[in-house]
């Protein structure tokens, strides 16, 4: 989303934000996932005044005519459409109200029915793929948000998670974009300055640490750590043999069942 927004001028950014609000509210509900996705979408706007106004409108939307902005090149409209579809499924659901709203926007953009069907097919495949995560979890464990709760970890546990990520992700080419995004979030959360400096030095020198057993990390957090790792690896077109071995090692050190490693590797390869 950020790359698209940065390619637009301010007027175009505000227009896209208005479309996003329309898509978000088409089902009469604003979820936390949608709020977070909208915040991320509009972050490149930068102007505090405009951002505050957009947030006010997001929380209390006003019905406005659905219009296309003449200054937006026709060649860019498919990308705008894909971003709006991605926004609609940020909570891993695409309901009939969202489909109807998106089809209306697709018609406004003069996008062919076949193109729209292709994008919807991609979106629904992504939803099914995401829902497949539950196969990794034991039946007794229910998780609604698949993200490591860093604020609930002790500082030593955050350091452990950072090391675990680097053990899996770091190679001679350094970190990729998706890996960097996740690692940076964890590193920023580390309070111990010496440990933070050590982790940063590992990244700069492409030196993966040895993976060690976690220190009293909850079962839920262990599974969430596993899921965070495989989501990033899967986004990079699958697992290498080395990465599969590290997943197996993570599961073993975390004292999770062997079936968790098998399910995680299978899901990431799909």
User: Cα separation of 219 and 142, whole Å?
Assistant: 11
How confident is the model at residue 211, as a pLDDT? 86
How confident is the model at residue 197, as a pLDDT? 96
Angle, alpha carbons 213-217-221 (nearest 5°)? 110
Residue 161 CB-density burial (10 A; 0-12 exposed, 13-18 middle, 19+ buried): buried
Backbone angles phi, psi at 143, to 5 degrees: -125, 130
- Rounded to 10 deg, the angle between the 48-59 and 10-25 helix axes is 20
Percentage above 90 pLDDT, the chain: 49
User: Cα separation of 211 and 228, whole Å?
Assistant: 16
Structure-derived torsion over alpha carbons of residues 148, 251, 141, 235, reported in degrees to the nearest 10 = 50
pLDDT at residue 221 tops 60: yes
Report helix, strand and coil shares of the chain as percent, to nearest 5: 70, 0, 30
* Mean pLDDT along residues 184-189: 93
Chain-wide mean pLDDT for the chain? 88
User: Cα separation of 128 and 122, whole Å?
Assistant: 10
How confident is the model at residue 156, as a pLDDT? 93
> First-to-last CA distance in the chain?
25
Please indicate whether residue 263 or residue 92 has the higher confidence score (pLDDT). 263
How confident is the model at residue 130, as a pLDDT? 74
User: Cα separation of 106 and 126, whole Å?
Assistant: 20
């Amino acid at each position: 989303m950020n790359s698209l927004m940065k390619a637009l001028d301010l007027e175009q950014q505000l227009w896209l934000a208005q479309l996003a609000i329309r898509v978000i509210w088409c089902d009469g509900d604003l979820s936390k996932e949608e709020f977070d996705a909208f915040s991320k979408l509009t972050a490149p706007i930068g102007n505090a005044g405009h951002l505050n106004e957009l947030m006010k409108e997001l929380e209390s939307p006003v019905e406005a005519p659905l219009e296309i902005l003449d200054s937006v090149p026709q060649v860019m409209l498919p990308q705008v459409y894909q971003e709006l579809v991605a926004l609609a499924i940020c909570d891993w659901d695409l309901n009939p109200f969202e489909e109807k709203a998106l089809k209306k926007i697709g018609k406004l953009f003069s996008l062919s029915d076949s193109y729209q069907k292709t994008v919807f097919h991609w979106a629904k495949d992504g939803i099914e793929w995401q829902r497949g995560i539950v196969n990794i979890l034991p039946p007794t464990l229910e998780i609604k948000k698949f993200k490591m709760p860093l604020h609930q970890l002790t500082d030593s546990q955050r350091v452990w998670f950072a090391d675990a990520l680097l053990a899996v992700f770091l190679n001679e080419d350094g970190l990729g974009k998706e890996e960097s995004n996740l690692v940076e979030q964890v590193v920023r959360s580390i309070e111990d300055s010496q440990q933070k400096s050590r982790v940063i030095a590992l990244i700069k020198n492409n030196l993966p640490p040895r993976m060690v057993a976690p220190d009293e990390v909850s079962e839920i957090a262990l599974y969430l750590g596993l899921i965070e790792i495989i989501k990033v690896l899967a986004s990079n077109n699958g697992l290498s043999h080395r990465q599969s071995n590290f997943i197996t090692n993570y599961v073993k050190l975390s004292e999770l069942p062997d079936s968790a490693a098998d399910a995680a590797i299978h899901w990431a390869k799909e």
